[in-house]
């Protein structure tokens, strides 16, 4: 028990340090505007990847509707602050709720579909959302919702990411998370063990969608302008690549995947085609050689660092003896 408290303390200290360093870097201009943007995008991508992983990795439902859920959140939140002039925290609540409702609406009818059919149906949902948004003048139609208040700053992004991850972690490591895993592993046996598979499939959709909605609200209130075309299924594929690279069913993997790929695309900004070719190859390679994701379903823990440290110590030690 004491060891556990110690690791919680270490993680809190590390997070606090990360927060402070970036905050200082931003406020005295040591981190350029370009990298600040990418840092914020990284945070949004972490939330997207972790929440998609909850659906695809932990519950084993292959959803391609994440861009749609994000769009619902972004627009619902945007309407609250921009069209109605209400405060930002309310935008977060409404954005998440709206996306969660969308999650129920999509999840309930489609979850009897098997794997690949579900994938196409959810992808279709995302496209329907996009087309509908283009046709609503109240939110700016095809040219998008503009003049959204610019309220998202580093503390908001940081806290959102940490809280989202904490919520997902708590969920996954609870009886409900185990039930989701049981659905993934064998839905027939899960039913026989008293797991209401319909409930858990919808639940995973709802929680995943709500967090994608949160990512959408943050996105809208950082960029201040959102257009329906940004939320096409290419965005879902981006997130899918992060999940696949980080590993299906690994929360820390999703974080690693989001960080790596956001950084990579920041460097490849000038040649977006090449970025997509690399994403494509990552998908194919991981499917062929590591269907559980490139980094597998293992979580990155403090012990991983200890091991890494151990290897490092061992090598440096052996150097000394030589």
Q: Per CB under 8 A, does 143 bind other proteins?
A: no
SS3 30: coil
Interacting residues of 246 by C-beta distance below 8 A, sequence separation 6+: 49, 53, 252, 253, 254, 255, 256, 257, 258, 293, 294, 295
Is 192 exposed, middle or buried, given 0-12, 13-18 or 19+ CB atoms closer than 10 A?
Answer: exposed
Report how far apart, in Å, the C-alpha atoms of 282 and of each of 43, 51, 62, 247 are.
21, 20, 18, 12
Using the rule CB under 8 A, give the single segment among 16-24, 83-91, 279-287, 301-309 that binds other proteins.
279-287
Binding residue for other proteins, selected from 97, 297, 300, 302, defined by CB under 8 A: 297
d(CA 2, CA 23): 31
Contact characters 61-80, other proteins, x per CB under 8 A: -x------------------
Shortest reach from residue 122's CB to other proteins, in Å = 10
Task: Tally Cβ neighbours within 10 Å of residue 190.
Answer: 20
Q: Which two tokens stand for residue 227?
A: 């257009």
Locus of tokens 């559980």: 292
Nearer to other proteins, 19 or 127 (CB): 127
Binding residue for other proteins, selected from 7, 30, 34, 185, defined by CB under 8 A: 185
Q: Per CB under 8 A, does 84 bind other proteins?
A: no
Q: Per CB under 8 A, does 269 bind other proteins?
A: no
Nearer to other proteins, 123 or 152 (CB): 123
| Binding residues for other proteins restricted to 231-250, rule: CB under 8 A | 237, 240, 244
Interacting residues of 167 by C-beta distance below 8 A, sequence separation 6+: 207, 211
Q: Per CB under 8 A, does 175 bind other proteins?
A: yes
Using CB under 8 A as the criterion, which residues of the chain lie in contact with other proteins when the complex forms? 62, 109-110, 113, 115-117, 119-121, 123-125, 127-128, 131-132, 134-135, 167, 170-171, 174-179, 181-182, 185-186, 188-197, 203, 237, 240, 244, 271, 273-274, 276-277, 279-284, 286-288, 291, 297
């Amino acid at each position: 028990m004491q060891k556990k408290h110690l690791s919680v303390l270490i993680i809190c200290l590390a997070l606090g340090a990360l927060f402070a360093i970036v905050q200082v870097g931003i406020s005295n201009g040591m981190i350029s505007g370009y990298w600040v943007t990418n840092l914020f995008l990284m945070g949004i991508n972490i939330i997207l990847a972790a929440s998609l992983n909850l659906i695809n990795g932990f519950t084993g439902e292959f959803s391609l509707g994440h861009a749609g859920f994000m769009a619902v959140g972004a627009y619902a939140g945007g309407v609250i602050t921009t069209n109605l002039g209400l405060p930002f925290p309310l935008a977060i609540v409404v954005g998440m709720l709206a996306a969660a409702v969308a999650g129920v609406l999509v999840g309930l009818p489609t979850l009897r579909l098997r794997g690949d059919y579900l994938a196409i149906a959810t992808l279709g949902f995302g496209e329907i959302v996009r087309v509908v948004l283009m046709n609503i003048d109240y939110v700016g139609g095809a040219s998008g919702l503009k003049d959204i208040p610019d309220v998202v700053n580093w503390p908001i992004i940081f806290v959102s990411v940490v809280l989202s991850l904490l919520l997902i972690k708590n969920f996954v490591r609870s009886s409900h998370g185990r039930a989701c895993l049981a659905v993934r592993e064998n839905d027939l046996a899960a039913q026989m063990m008293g797991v209401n598979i319909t409930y858990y499939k919808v639940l995973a959709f709802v929680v995943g969608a709500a967090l994608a909605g949160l990512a959408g609200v943050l996105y809208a209130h950082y960029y201040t302008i959102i257009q329906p075309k940004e939320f096409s299924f290419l965005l879902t594929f981006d997130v899918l690549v992060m999940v696949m690279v980080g590993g299906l069913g690994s929360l820390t993997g999703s974080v690693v995947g989001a960080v790596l790929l956001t950084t990579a695309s920041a460097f490849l900004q000038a040649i977006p085609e090449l970025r997509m070719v690399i994403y494509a190859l990552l998908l194919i390679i991981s499917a062929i050689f590591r269907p559980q994701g490139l980094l597998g379903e293992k979580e990155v823990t403090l012990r991983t660092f200890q091991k890494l440290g151990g290897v490092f110590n061992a090598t440096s030690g052996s150097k000394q003896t030589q």
